[in-house]
Amino acid sequence: MGRRHRHVTDEDDEENLGGDDVYMYPVDMHPDERHAYREAVRASKAAEWNRQQEEHFIKGKIKTGSTIFLKSVDASNNIKDNKYIYGLLKDVIKEVGKQNVVQIVTDNGSAFVKAGKLLMKKYNLYWTSCAAHCIDLMFEDIDKRTSVADVITKARKITNFIYNHGWLLAQMRKVCGGDIVRPGATRFATNYIALDSLLKKKANLKKVFISDEWAQHNLSRTLIGKEVESLMFDHAYWERVGKLVSIYEALYTVLCIVNSEVVPIMPFVYKLIRVMKENLIRLNAKEWVLEIIVDRWDRTLKHPLHATSKYYLSLKFIGI
**pLDDT in the model for residue 56:** 42
Q: How far is CA 221 from CA 58, 119, 214, 226, in A?
A: 54, 64, 10, 7
pLDDT band at residue 13 under the 50/70/90 scheme: very low
pLDDT in tens, 248-260: 999 888 888 877 6
Query: Residues 81-137: pLDDT tens digits?
Result: 888 888 888 888 888 888 888 888 887 788 888 888 898 888 888 887 778 888 888
Average pLDDT over residues 213-226: 95
Distant-in-sequence, close-in-space partners of 296: CB < 8 Å, separation ≥ 6: 134, 135, 137, 138, 141
The per-residue pLDDT for 48 is 47
Which parts of the chain fold into alpha helices (H)?
13-16, 34-44, 47-54, 82-96, 110-122, 131-144, 146-163, 166-176, 189-200, 202-209, 212-216, 223-232, 235-259, 269-282, 287-296, 304-317
Residue 9, phi then psi, degrees to nearest 5: -110, 155
Least reliable range by pLDDT among 71-75, 253-257, 306-310: 306-310
Return the pLDDT at 253. 86
Average pLDDT, the chain: 76
Whether 263 has a pLDDT exceeding 90, the answer reads no
